[in-house]
Every structure is written in structure tokens, then in C-alpha cells.
């Protein structure tokens, strides 16, 4: 009997399939009149698995065998039922996020604390009264997430919001925020856009409150949700002598907004779109996540944000010879993309943020590092919902409209490394993986539907990645292949006594 490993790779020697059905179904060899599964060569193991699954499909036993085994969905359902403690939130984050364990742990703790703070303010006010506490004494668990471009900041926010089943909104207009009374964006814009996002979220759940913006505001006032403010580095203080309407003034306004404030806005009336209805949104229960790459902003010569955060960290750590020289060698061993992990409050003050602003937002500090090629390979193949698994599933059903089986899509190790390297070279990190994968499979995907039945396997090599889908027709690395399945009988490994 075989056991399923964490990567869903079949444990039958020689099979190495990542289709979880293979391992589970082939793990019941008695149904195929075979008592053991010990093979003298890998090819026999692979052929056995292929024939066994074919036999189950033909005999209509596939569904019963598959459904009787525990699935990944069953495991997820068990996790869903478990209380969302920091460890549970972290475990579920790590299923889908690669290489950012430190940040994920901080985020999991902050998410849990914010939910408990909300519970304390709304359901246990008697405890506040007993301890002579006000709502304001229960501080917000906002999160500060600095990290390089492409390291997964937005993806992490989206993932954790899904885990805790809360609406989220990513505000990207930070560069245009100005102080009150000046032309530009303001925090009221953030609230208005967030209300619209929560309304969509409630509609998706068939909640009747979604039909009335006043009810949506009431939901926010009691349940909060998550707002991520992206490119927060764009509100660094101005270095010039003129009026700073987009730096420290915005920091002050944003800080008040995040800590809890009632903001009144006008929205379309639910029964008369031509009219407006006034609603008041309380930001007390909204959890804020501030994100940014802290690279040169390019929006003015007098901006401190023209300096990179990593340069400030290097200088403080002594890699440029300015103080702390004893740590220069250590700093030189840290790549630029990993220097975010060494950031301190004083670095953000040097970047252009008020000490008061930094002190209030850095409670849950979740710095992210640059993802390396090894991280990108694991994102391609190991995290839940990985793009390779999606493509393999899609190629396996090509020809289903004709009652034909599709392709077993395979990638060599070198091909996966080539995809990761290509994505890394684009400077967009994990975001570039799907683009490179799509480019690689473009020509193959165009031809594959017409070749169903003639071939049953597709092999992606590094050459195909580097040439963006040029199909190899000859030789050992042929792209479209026939697996050459044949029925082989498994044999045990008892010693031969005929010596």
C-alpha cells in the first residue's frame, strides 16, 4: 500500500506523477488482481499506474475509489472549521506563499489581534468598563509591509483576506494624495472606493445589505474589513522649502484616518440613482496594511523618496563606510533584495516619514525579501494553486468534447528553472511567472487540441522555454510524445532461489 506525500507525487517507484488520484487509486492493487507493488524497474512501476487508472476508468470504479479517499478539499474544510488562531492563519498562508515566513507570521498575529480587538470593543464592552478602559485604549493592529517589487505584497493581502473571509481593497492612488484644501486625492476617496468594494463582496454572498449603501456602511462600522494602502513611500516628506501638501501633511491625515475616524460621504441612493444618500463610515474596525517598495519615486527632484531605502539601510549598517565599519563585511553578504529584512524605524524616518507616523504604524512590522529563482520554482510547482498544476489540469482535459483523454503535461527540472530565471530577469518577481509560462505554452497550446489521440504526452524542456514555444519534432526531447504504455505485471522482490 502506498502513501500520499505532501507534493501529491505518486509513491510507486518510477511513476512520479503529481496527479493525486494516481497514488490513491494505484494504492489498491488487489482490485487489479495484484497483491504487491514492488517492481524490478521504474518503467514497470509507471506502466502499472497508467494501466491501473485506465482499468478503473473503464470499469466505472474511478469515481468511487477517488471519492472514498480523503482529498485536499477535505483537509482544507477541516482547517476551515478550526479556530483561526495565529498558527492556523500562518499555516494556511504558507500553503500559498513561498519564502516570506517572517512576514507571514507577523501578519497572522496582527490579523488575529485585530479580530480580537474588534470583538472586545463590540461584544465585551463590559470588560472594558470593568477595567476602566475606553475604546481608544484598544490600539489598532495595523501592518507595515515594506518589500521589493514582485515579492508578493498584494498577493499576501488577498490571501489572508480570503483566509479570514473579509473584504479587502488595495488603494493605489497614494501618489496623488494631498492635504485638505488642495487639488488631489483625499482619504474620503479611499472610503468611497472601499464602500463599493464591500458592496461587491456582500453581493457575492447574496447579502441583502448590499442593495443599500447605508446598510453597507453599517456592516463596515461593525465588521471592518481590510484596506491596503499601496506605494505608501510616495507620501515621504518633501525636502524642499515650499509648502509640503503631499508629504507630512498627508502622513498626519492618513494616521488619523487609520486609527479610527468617522467620515461622511455621499453615495448614489439605492432607489433613485439620480439622488444621493449621506452615509457615515467609522474606520475604527478597519485593519490597514501599508505597503511599498521604497524605491525612488520619480515624482520631483526635491523628494527624499529619490533615495532608496536599501541605500539608507546600507549606510546605517556600515557597508558604505559611514559608521559601524565593523559590520561592513556582514552587510556586503546581504543582497539588496534581502536588506528590507534589516530595516529599522530610523531608516524610514531618514526616508522621509515623521517619527510619530513611523512609531504608530510599525507595531506589526512585516518586511518582505526579494524572491530568488529557487523560490520562484517552488511557487511554480509547490504552493497551492500553483500555475503549473493549473496548466496540467487544463491540458489533461483537452479532447473531452470528443470523449478523448488529453495530455500528461511534463516539465523537466531545467525547464522550471528556465521559467523562474526568465521571470526573475523581468524584475517583476512572482508576477512574471504566469506571463513566462503562458508565452512558453502559447504555440504548443495552439496545436495541442488537434493532436489529441495521436499523442498523449507533452514534454516542456529548457530549450522550449528559451525559444518561447518552438516545438521540437525529433529526438529524445520531442515535444509531443506517445507514452508507449503497455501492460506489465508487477513482481515481488523475493530472492531468486534458483541460483
Q: How far apart are CA 280 and CA 296, in angstroms?
A: 37
Same domain, 332 and 348: yes
Higher pLDDT, 484 or 489: 484
Same domain, 284 and 422: no
Q: How far apart are CA 314 and CA 325, in angstroms?
A: 11
For residue 162, being part of any structural domain is answered with yes
Lowest mean pLDDT among 12-26, 351-365, 485-499: 485-499
Same domain, 27 and 110: no
At 139-160, the pLDDT tens digits run 889 999 999 988 899 999 999 9
* pLDDT beyond 90 at 486: no
Share the mean pLDDT of the chain: 78
For residue 396, being part of any structural domain is answered with yes
Higher pLDDT, 128 or 63: 128
Percent of the chain with pLDDT over 70: 71
Same domain, 43 and 97: no
Q: How far apart are CA 288 and CA 267, in angstroms?
A: 23
At 177-219, the pLDDT tens digits run 876 555 557 888 899 999 999 999 999 999 999 999 999 999 9
Across 90-103, average pLDDT = 92
Across 395-412, average pLDDT = 89
Same domain, 103 and 28: no
- For strand 276-282 and strand 262-268, is the pairing parallel, antiparallel, or unpaired? antiparallel
Higher pLDDT, 450 or 247: 450
pTM recorded for the entire structure: 0.74
The per-residue pLDDT for 116 is 92
Query: What total of structural domains would you count in the chain?
Result: 3
* pLDDT beyond 90 at 413: yes
What is the number of other CB atoms lying within 10 angstroms of the CB of residue 256? 12
pLDDT band at 81 (very low <50, low <70, confident <90, very high): low
Same domain, 294 and 394: no
* pLDDT beyond 80 at 68: no
Provide long-range contacts, Cβ within 8 A and 24+ apart, for 36-39: 36/490, 36/491, 36/492, 37/2, 37/12, 37/490, 38/490, 38/491, 38/492, 38/493, 39/12, 39/13, 39/14, 39/490, 39/491
Same domain, 421 and 351: no
For residue 443, being part of any structural domain is answered with yes
For residue 496, being part of any structural domain is answered with no
The per-residue pLDDT for 459 is 93
Same domain, 209 and 100: yes
Last residue of a domain, one of 308, 343, 365: 365
For residue 379, being part of any structural domain is answered with yes
Supply angle C-alpha 433, 86, 385, rounded to 5: 25
The per-residue pLDDT for 332 is 52
* pLDDT beyond 80 at 69: no
Last residue of a domain, one of 20, 45, 69: 69
* pLDDT beyond 60 at 78: no
Full residue range of the structural domain in which residue 65 is found: 1-69
For residue 268, being part of any structural domain is answered with yes
The per-residue pLDDT for 333 is 64
Amino acid at each position: 500500500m502506498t502513501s500520499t506525500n505532501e507534493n501529491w507525487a505518486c509513491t510507486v517507484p518510477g511513476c512520479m506523477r503529481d496527479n493525486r488520484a494516481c497514488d490513491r487509486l494505484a494504492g489498491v492493487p488487489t482490485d487489479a488482481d495484484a497483491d504487491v507493488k514492488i517492481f524490478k524497474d521504474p518503467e514497470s512501476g509507471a506502466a502499472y499506474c497508467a494501466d491501473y487508472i485506465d482499468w478503473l476508468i473503464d470499469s466505472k470504479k474511478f469515481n468511487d475509489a477517488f471519492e472514498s479517499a480523503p482529498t485536499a478539499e477535505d483537509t482544507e474544510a477541516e482547517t476551515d472549521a478550526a479556530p483561526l488562531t495565529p498558527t492556523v492563519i500562518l499555516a494556511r498562508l504558507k500553503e500559498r506563499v513561498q519564502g516570506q515566513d517572517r512576514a507571514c507570521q507577523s501578519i497572522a498575529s496582527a490579523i488575529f489581534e485585530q479580530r480580537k480587538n474588534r470583538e472586545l470593543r463590540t461584544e465585551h464592552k463590559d470588560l472594558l468598563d470593568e477595567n476602566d478602559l475606553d475604546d481608544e485604549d484598544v490600539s489598532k493592529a495595523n501592518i507595515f509591509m515594506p518589500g521589493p517589487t514582485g515579492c508578493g505584497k498584494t498577493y499576501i493581502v488577498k490571501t489572508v483576506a480570503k483566509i479570514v473571509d473579509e473584504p479587502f481593497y488595495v488603494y493605489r492612488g497614494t501618489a496623488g494624495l494631498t492635504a485638505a484644501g488642495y487639488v488631489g486625492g483625499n482619504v474620503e476617496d479611499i472610503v468611497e472606493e472601499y464602500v463599493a468594494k464591500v458592496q461587491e463582496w456582500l453581493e457575492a454572498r447574496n447579502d441583502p445589505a448590499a442593495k443599500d449603501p447605508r446598510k453597507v456602511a453599517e456592516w463596515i462600522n461593525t465588521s471592518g474589513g481590510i484596506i491596503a494602502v499601496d506605494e505608501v513611500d510616495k507620501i515621504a516628506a518633501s525636502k524642499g522649502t515650499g509648502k509640503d501638501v503631499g508629504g507630512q501633511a498627508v502622513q498626519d491625515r492618513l494616521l488619523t484616518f487609520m486609527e479610527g475616524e468617522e467620515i461622511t460621504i455621499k453615495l448614489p441612493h439605492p432607489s433613485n440613482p439620480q439622488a444621493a444618500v449621506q452615509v457615515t463610515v467609522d474606520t475604527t474596525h478597519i485593519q490597514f496594511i501599508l505597503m511599498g517598495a521604497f524605491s525612488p519615486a520619480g515624482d520631483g527632484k526635491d523628494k527624499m523618496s529619490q533615495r532608496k531605502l536599501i541605500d539608507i539601510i546600507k549606510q546605517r549598517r556600515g557597508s558604505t563606510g559611514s559608521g559601524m565599519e565593523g559590520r561592513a563585511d556582514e552587510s556586503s553578504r546581504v543582497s539588496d533584495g534581502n536588506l528590507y529584512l534589516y530595516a529599522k524605524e530610523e531608516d524610514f524616518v531618514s526616508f522621509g516619514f515623521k517619527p510619530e507616523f513611523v512609531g504608530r504604524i510599525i507595531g506589526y512590522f512585516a518586511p518582505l525579501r526579494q524572491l530568488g529563482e529557487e523560490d520562484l520554482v517552488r511557487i511554480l510547482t509547490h504552493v497551492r494553486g500553483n500555475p503549473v498544476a493549473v496548466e496540467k489540469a487544463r491540458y489533461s482535459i483537452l479532447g473531452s468534447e470528443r470523449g478523448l483523454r488529453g495530455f500528461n503535461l511534463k516539465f523537466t527540472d531545467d525547464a522550471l528553472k528556465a521559467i523562474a530565471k526568465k521571470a526573475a530577469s523581468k524584475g517583476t518577481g512572482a508576477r512574471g511567472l504566469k506571463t513566462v509560462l503562458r508565452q512558453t505554452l502559447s504555440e504548443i497550446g495552439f496545436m495541442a487540441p488537434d493532436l489529441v489521440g495521436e499523442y498523449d504526452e507533452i514534454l516542456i524542456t529548457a530549450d522550449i522555454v528559451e525559444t518561447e514555444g518552438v516545438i521540437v519534432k525529433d529526438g529524445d526531447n520531442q515535444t509531443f510524445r506517445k507514452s508507449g504504455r503497455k501492460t506489465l505485471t508487477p513482481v515481488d522482490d523475493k530472492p531468486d532461489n534458483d541460483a
